[in-house]
Each structure stands twice: as structure tokens, then as C-alpha cells.
Amino acid sequence: MAPILSRVSSNFGFGKRTAAAATAPAPGIEDVFQTYLYTGNGSTQTITNEIDLSGEGGLVWIKLRATGGSGNYPGNQLFNTVRGSTKSLKSDSTAAEATYPDGYGLNSFNANGFTVKDVSDLGYGVNESSATYASWTFRKAAKFFDVVTYTGTGSDQTISHNLGSTPGCIIVKRTDSTNDWYVYHRSLATATENWIRLNNTGAANGAIGQDLWGPPTSTTFKVDTYLGLSTSSATYVAYLFAHDAGGFGDSGNDNVVSCGSFTTDGSANATVDLGWEPQWVLVKSIDNVDSWFILDNMRGWVTGGNDARLLPNSANAEQTGSNYGNITATGFVANGAYYANSTHIYIAIRRGPMKTPTDATKVFSAAITSNDNNYTTTNFPVDFAIAQSKLGSLGYGALVSSRLTNRFLLKAYNTDAEASLYPENTWQSNTGVRLGFYSSGYDIAQWTFRRAPGFFDVVAYTGTGSATTVSHNLGVAPELMIVKWRTGATGGGWAVYSSALGAGQGIFLNGDGAAAASGGTLWNSTAPTNSVFTVGTNSLSSNNSGGTYIAYLFASCPGVSKVFNYTGTGTTKQIDCGFTNGARFVLIKRTDSTGDWYVWDSARGIISGNDPYLLLNSTAAEVTNTDYIDPYSAGFEISSTAPAAINANGGSYIGLAIA
């Protein structure tokens, strides 16, 4: 008997195969996957994550992180568009699918996300008041992910799919009755004879001589009565993940999902090379009895700190007390006793966005905040933030934090090591950041950035003491790099590379000094490329042996950002950045002589009159009674009244402007 199949879409968002559609650009991972964090409101809430579920179909996986409301931990709830909204399966349970009444649970799949509905006294666990949630959305897309439903025949059967490539992992669950969540993974020994269960902690199992899964092909996979995956008239759902199948990015050949394995060494460490930076991993030991777990960069997969993990096989709250590994620009490092003497399988998903931005408002925001704990929200996922008080009396200057390092703060105006001084400093949502260094009620300037190709990147690395290269994902050669030794203080200043100065010179963000020859110690006299930058020999500021570093990389992105340099004239001077509506952010530093790091932004005012400025290298209060720059549609204009630190005749200057 032929299998009974059901799907939402067969074109995965690429449209009909007309000549025009065939030349459409390939999607980015941001089009098909999103981790989205939210806090329940005990009613109805729409989650806007820009993933088209109503048109393309897919899966939404919701997990309670920390309890509120009723105090229940209802577990991992999975909703898919093929079965329909309000129908939930729990990956930590063998139970049959539940159907929630009156639109509760996942209320609807939308063109840009989904809607949840809950009340605390019912405790459906997707939107309880004050409870915090993680959601993971997987859109159906060729060479990424597919959802298939079928009905058992009582015999082994072959099931068709639209993944467009050979699956690397398949997860199957019976929906009409109790049954385990059976998992096929390409990295299991004799994969077609092996399985592992998503809903428990057990090690991998095998049935010698049993061809349980096919093997899978680019169009089909097999299900076997041996595992109860083809019981007569029973209904099932299967989730299929691709493996290194290409199909994404500007080239159309970039991978976005990998299904692999790693074995730790005697120190319980392993380095996984994916060729790209991940944002989400699902990991399980196949040798030992231990939990599955999920790490993602939104909740806190911290490079150099404790990570937040959730367990697919458990209803328990989020665990945050251990370091399970670090993200790198090309993969991840597993470390710690959890991994000891074991082989693990994983599904890893690439970090986005993969598309070069064209709208600066989608990657940068300037704001003034004085709310409790100085929480700032934007309309884009935030990866990096700088906050600076407008009052010098507080004794603090610019504070710097990145999602990659989570709660850790650095001070741009001195050489202090990073610190986590206040628990309020939290990357608590996709689109917000809280730099709670100051008491509420004070005006704080906050500048927030999203990592994006051609615009901005953040890289964490460990120094070697010898000249070495560090991988990055900017996609173009950085024109401005700012590097700080995270754990070192004395002698470990904020080293700055400028393409205008060249790789043989350096300048420091935490001071007002002129640029100087670095003798190759900072950048090894080697200009960065579109994939790596080079750090020199045993420089405390860029490559001390064993030192942990953070690097912020900027480039000129047409219509979005401009890394500029100019020679001063002492008279009015226009800086053409290629913009159409002027600059919202301007940073300027004199390089041939002393001069501070001046910052202006449109939130505080870039106008024809006085323009308030702050100094990144100082704890001084905001200056509001000067008119040093003015609006100019293509960038900004330097006033004739500007001092030598900004416009001395013959002086040399570098800077960054954002549209």
C-alpha cells in the first residue's frame, strides 16, 4: 500500500519554477530558522520572527525556560503546520498528540511568525504570565528541513520527502498513540541499523541485520515495523534535517545545517570544524546514559563563560551553571566533564544573517534610555552594544558588551579586564539589551549593532603568543578592527587597526595618543583578508599566549556604513559616505597627533546647531554647547568651528559613520 502523505508546500518558498524564479537568489538561514525569546503575558501574544510559516510550513518548538504563573513545567512542545496549530507533541514524553481547545497553545501559524495563547490556570505552557520561553522555528526549505506525515501500513514502507537532499537526521514520532521518538542519525555506527531516542537519556541502540531506515535518499526514507514506525493505521510525523547540502547564501552553495559527531580527548575536549559559526546545536552522547541538550546563541552560548542549556528529553527548567563549550568563527569547541570519554552526535545550524544589509536601521540603533536598568529594544536581533552615561558625575564612561560574551562587560576608557558586576546586565531577548551599570533615572546613550556580512562582526579568540591568523565571518576585509584582552588589564589596551594607517601601525581606543608604529607586534604587519585577520608576536593587546580576546570588525557597506579617513582643512568640510539621508552615528579620531575619540548620534542630535558629543576614551560628561559637525545628506559635514582634534589643517583622521 502506498503511504499517505501530507505537506503544506512543495516549492519551499522559491516560487513556481518559471524562468524568473529559477534565477531568484538563494535564501539565507535567517529566512528559515530563528531562535526567539519571549515572556508570557497570560493571554494572546504574536511572535514576529520573520519566518513564513503560513505560506511555507514548518515546525515551532517551544520550551519554558523559567517558571512564572502556575509554576508548571509543561515540557518541550512541538507544533507543526502539517498537523495544524493547537496540536502538540512533547519531545520529553511518549504520549500521543494533544489537541488544545479554543485556540489555546499555538494559536496560529503566520506569514512572519506565530501566535500563542495561554492562561495561567490552564497551564498549557506556551504563554503563561511572566514565564520566560525559548522558541525555535524551522521553516520547510530544500536542503534544510522538511516535515512529513504518513499513515502506517503494518509493513515496512518507503516514505517520500521534499528535503531535496539526503537527510542527515530523521526524527519520527507516532501521533495517535504512545511511542518513543526514534532518531536516525548519519553518524551512528551502521546508521541504518541503529537508532537513539529523543525522549530519554539512553545510549544508541542497534539491530544487527535490520535495515531500519533505507538508507535514506534525496527523495525517500524507510520506516520499519521493528521499531513500531509502521503500525497499521497509526499516524506519524517525521522531521528531516539536511546535512551539508548547500543551497543557501549569495553563492547558493553555502551549507546551513550539519549532522555530525565528535569524540572528546582525554581532557574531555573536542574541536568541531563546521566551516561556519553555529547559532544552535542539539547534542547527545551515543555511548553514555545522559541527556540530550540544546545550546543557542540567543539564550547564552557564551564564549568563556557558563552556558544556558535546555533538555529535549526533560521538562526541567533551563540550566545555567556549567560551560559546555565555546563558539568559534568556524565551529565550536566542546569542553568539560560532561563530554568525558564519549562520542556525541549533533545537529548544528549556522548563524545568520547571510545577506549583506541594505538598510542601516535593520543593523544599528542609537537611543537614549533612562528606564529601569536601562533596557533598550530595537527592531532587529542585537549582538553588540555600547552604553555611556551623559553625566560625568557617575564616574563611568563607555561600557561594551556582546551577546557572544553575555554578561561580561568591558570599559572602553581603560585597560580593565572584563567583569560581570551586576546581574541586571543581561541579553534577555533577541531585540533588546540591558547594560545595568547605572541606576535608573539617568540618561544613557546606547548604540546597538547587529552582526551582518559586509558591515560588522564579533570574534572571540585565544592568543598563542606567536604570529597567527584568526578567522572571521565579516565576508570582506575589515577596515577598522578594535581588539581587547578580556582577562588581562595592565598593558592590555584597546588595540585599533585602521586600513588607512596600515598593518604596521596601531592606535588605542582607551587613550588620546597618536598612531604609532607597532613593530609588527599588533597585526604582524599583515593586512586582514575577507576571512582572517593576523595578530603579531606576544603583544599583550592582541595576542598574549593563553589570553582571551574579543575583536570587533567593521567595514564599509554601501548605503549602511562607511569606514572613512580624511585630511583636515581647518574650514568647513563635507565627508561623503555614499548615504542618502545623512549619518546617524559618527566616530572620529585624530591619528597624527593627540585627540579624543568623539561620538555623535542622531538620538542626541546631529543638527545644524549644537551637537552633543561623548568621548569613548573618557568618563567626562556629554558636551552640549558646541557645533562641530552638521547634517549632510551623503554623510556629515565638519564645521569650520571644529577644533584641531577634529579638523586641523593638514591633520590626519579616521572614523566610522553609520547611515
Least confident of 120-124, 363-367, 511-515: 120-124
> For residue 421, what pLDDT band results from cuts at 50, 70 and 90?
low
> For residue 436, what pLDDT band results from cuts at 50, 70 and 90?
low
Cβ-based neighbours of 19, under 8 Å, separated by 6 or more? none
Measured CA to CA, the distance from residue 401 to residue 407 in angstroms comes to 7
Q: Which segments of 98-224 are extended strands (E)?
A: 98-99, 105-110, 113-117, 132-139, 145-151, 157-160, 169-174, 181-185, 194-197, 205-206, 220-223
Measured CA to CA, the distance from residue 284 to residue 630 in angstroms comes to 57
Higher-pLDDT residue of 490, 349:
349
> For residue 67, what pLDDT band results from cuts at 50, 70 and 90?
low
Cα angle 554, 558, 559 (rounded to 5 degrees) comes to 105
Question: Order of strands across the sheet with 113-117?
Answer: 44-48, 113-117, 105-110
Cβ-based neighbours of 212, under 8 Å, separated by 6 or more? 184, 192, 193, 194, 195, 222, 224, 226, 227
Higher-pLDDT residue of 301, 394:
301
285-313 pLDDT, tens digit each: 999 999 999 999 999 998 888 899 999 99
Query: Can you give the pTM of this predicted structure?
Result: 0.93
Which cell goes with 587?
566616530
pLDDT at 340: 76
> For residue 120, what pLDDT band results from cuts at 50, 70 and 90?
low
pLDDT at 373: 61
Share of the chain above pLDDT 70, in %: 92
Q: In Å, how far are 19, 25, 530, 561, 579 from 360, measured between CA atoms? A: 32, 21, 21, 7, 10
Residue 31 has pLDDT above 80, yes or no: yes
Query: What's the first-to-final CA gap in the chain, in angstroms?
Result: 61
Measured CA to CA, the distance from residue 434 to residue 179 in angstroms comes to 43
DSSP 497-536: EETTT-TTEEEETTS-PPPEE-TTTTTTT----SSEEEE-
223-265 pLDDT, tens digit each: 999 999 999 999 999 999 999 999 999 889 999 999 999 998 8
Residue 8 has pLDDT above 50, yes or no: no
Residue 13 has pLDDT above 90, yes or no: no
Least confident of 2-11, 132-141, 634-643: 2-11
Cβ-based neighbours of 152, under 8 Å, separated by 6 or more? 223, 229, 230, 231, 232, 233, 234, 235, 236
**Is the Cβ–Cβ distance between 357 and 457 less than 8 Å?**
no
Q: List the domain boundaries for the chain.
A: 33-139, 161-354, 360-449, 456-554, 561-658
The chain-wide mean pLDDT, for the chain, equals 91
Residue 593 has pLDDT above 80, yes or no: yes
Measured CA to CA, the distance from residue 122 to residue 191 in angstroms comes to 42
Residue 24 has pLDDT above 80, yes or no: no
